[in-house]
């Protein structure tokens, strides 16, 4: 069994049934949704969708302490390698790589590209999501920060569990997230990127009602886990 833990806001941990420890978009210290610190997490791989502060806030300390390999766009990977000496595995939109734990494909996301880290000028990039294929029944799509896009239709039949942002303002809102579920047809939907701040406050029960006929909705609380 793989174990997916929601740290809060946009940060997830995924432990595969082979024991690999993945952290996605580490944002802890200034994350109002969690008390977990970078010292609490272990990681073999850190996956980064894009450079905004609420996704990379603790990337550098976590990478330094764990020695984890950074899986990110070429530009973010280059920054972490050149500026911080981290082991990296650069990828880009549409491309996948076989890792010891499974296959990771970088998916398109409609969002901003700024890298909010010191000395990152020149490392411009585009944002992404990840399709993490751990095997049959364990295909996890983490959309990252994105608006609804037609590209999501390409994921139909390829996703068992989909984590989708629903906070509106900076990403899809609940209504477009329902359309994303219609496009992708996952078995399980996990909403994230909402309620962390007043600007992205949402009525989660309304979203659950709207999507429950389409997929099994798992509303994860910070610190909560899901096995699949």
Q: Between 115 and 215, whose beta carbon lies closer to Ni ion?
A: 115
Q: What is the dihedral of CA 180, 182, 184, 189, to 10 degrees?
A: 70
Residue 145 touches Ni ion, criterion: CB under 5 A: yes
Residue 52 touches Ni ion, criterion: CB under 5 A: yes
DSSP for residue 68? P
Cα–Cα distances (Å) from 63 to 37, 88, 89, 115, in that order, read: 13, 10, 13, 16
- State in angstroms the smallest separation of the CB of 36 from Ni ion: 20
- State in angstroms the smallest separation of the CB of 146 from Mn ion: 10
Burial 3-22 (b: 16+ CB within 10 A, else e): ebbbbbbbbbbbbbeeebbb
Binding segment toward Ni ion, per CB under 5 A, in 48-56, 190-198, 199-207, 217-225? 48-56
Cα 26 to Cα 18: distance, rounded to the nearest angstrom: 22
Residues of span 52-91 touching Mn ion by CB under 5 A: 54
Cα 132 to Cα 97: distance, rounded to the nearest angstrom: 10
- State in angstroms the smallest separation of the CB of 145 from Mn ion: 4
DSSP for residue 200? G
Q: Between 50 and 139, whose beta carbon lies closer to Mn ion?
A: 50
Residue 145 touches Mn ion, criterion: CB under 5 A: yes
Binding segment toward Ni ion, per CB under 5 A, in 24-32, 47-55, 82-90, 197-205? 47-55
Residue 25 touches Mn ion, criterion: CB under 5 A: no
β-pairing, 45-47 vs 11-15, is unpaired
Binding segment toward Mn ion, per CB under 5 A, in 16-24, 25-33, 47-55, 152-160? 47-55
- Per CB under 5 A, residues contacting Ni ion are 52, 145
- Per CB under 5 A, residues contacting Mn ion are 54, 145
């Amino acid at each position: 069994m793989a174990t997916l833990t929601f740290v809060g806001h946009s940060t997830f941990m995924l432990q595969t049934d082979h024991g690999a420890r993945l952290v996605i978009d580490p944002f802890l210290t200034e994350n109002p949704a969690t008390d977990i610190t970078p010292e609490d997490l272990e990681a073999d791989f850190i996956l980064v969708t894009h450079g905004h502060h609420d996704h990379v806030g603790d990337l550098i300390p976590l990478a330094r302490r764990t020695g984890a390999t950074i899986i990110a766009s070429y530009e973010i990977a280059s920054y972490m390698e050149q500026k911080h000496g981290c082991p990296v595995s650069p990828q880009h939109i549409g491309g996948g790589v076989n890792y010891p734990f499974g296959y990771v494909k970088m998916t398109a996301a409609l969002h901003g590209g700024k890298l909010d880290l010191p000395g990152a000028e020149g490392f411009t990039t585009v944002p992404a999501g990840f399709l993490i294929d751990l095997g049959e029944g364990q295909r996890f799509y983490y959309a990252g920060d994105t608006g609804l896009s037609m590209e999501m239709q390409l994921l139909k039949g390829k996703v068992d569990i989909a984590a989708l942002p629903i906070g509106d303002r900076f990403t899809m809102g609940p209504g477009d997230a329902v359309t994303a579920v219609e496009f992708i047809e996952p078995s399980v939907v996990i909403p994230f990127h909402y309620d962390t701040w007043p600007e992205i406050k949402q009525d989660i029960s309304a979203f659950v009602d709207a999507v429950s006929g389409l997929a099994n909705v798992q509303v994860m609380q910070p610190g909560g886990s899901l096995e699949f």
